[in-house]
Amino acid sequence: MLDTLPHYFYSIIDPPNKDELLYALERNTKLHKEQECSWSEGCSIQFERLDLEEDFHSLFAPSLSQFFQEIQIDARNLKIQLHEIWRNTYQRNYFQEVHDHLPLHLSGVVFLTDEQQGDGQFFFYHKHYSEVSKEWRDVGLFGDRKFVRAKRGRVLLFPSHMLHGVSIHKSDNMRRTVAFNLIFDTSVTLKNSI
């Protein structure tokens, strides 16, 4: 299902290979030898970098295919590559600050748990919210955040320039996700697939 924000877009996908994807991301992964990461300093999160030697590309291929069909782009010549992948665990009071994933091209999240009452929530931050007039804010057309409800097995894909974060996790439930970044050949002239 394709959804939009002013100036942005994202897609929530129910992958046809959901069971295989979940098994690979939860149980059948090796950790990367380097676990340090500078971006984790601005948040409170437990993360594990996953080893890129695993064949993640084939696991994400059905979701990527659906994403590019939805935005009507023929992506066969993009040479899409997985740049990095990591697993996140949120406990009480954990959160992820507002950030983007530039200079990468496409980012994604696989939700490993269903959202429950009090859980931290993934959101997109509307950086142009200050440009929305008071009248439109008063009628509730736009807000500064667009929340995406976590559902186990769903894949969320969005351009890496979009600001996003996770609100404070206020429950004792474990919230788990896998996040990843992709790069592709930007020198390719794309044509609409329709």
What ranges do the domains of the chain cover? 2-183
- Domain 2-183 top-level CATH class: mainly beta
Instruction: Give the pLDDT of residue 189.
Output: 61
Q: What is the mean pLDDT of residues 73-90?
A: 90
Instruction: Give the pLDDT of residue 142.
Output: 65
pLDDT at 192 over 70: no
Instruction: Give the pLDDT of residue 46.
Output: 79
pTM for the model: 0.86
Q: What is the mean pLDDT of residues 163-184?
A: 95
How far apart are the C-alpha atoms of 49 and 36, rounded to whole Å? 8
Question: Which pair of structure tokens corresponds to residue 26?
Answer: 């939860």
Instruction: Give the pLDDT of residue 193.
Output: 45
Q: Please tell me whether residue 61 adopts helix, strand or coil conformation.
A: helix
Q: What are phi and psi of 176, to 5 degrees?
A: -130, 140
Q: What is the mean pLDDT of residues 88-94?
A: 93
Instruction: Give the pLDDT of residue 4.
Output: 57
Q: Which of 76-85, 120-129, 154-163, 183-192 has the lowest mean pLDDT?
A: 183-192
From residue 136, give the alpha-carbon distance in Å to each of 9, 129, 143: 20, 10, 9
Tell me if 10 sits within 8 A of 70, measured CB to CB.
no
Q: Please tell me whether residue 155 adopts helix, strand or coil conformation.
A: strand
Q: What is the mean pLDDT of residues 5-15?
A: 82
pLDDT band at 139 (very low <50, low <70, confident <90, very high): confident
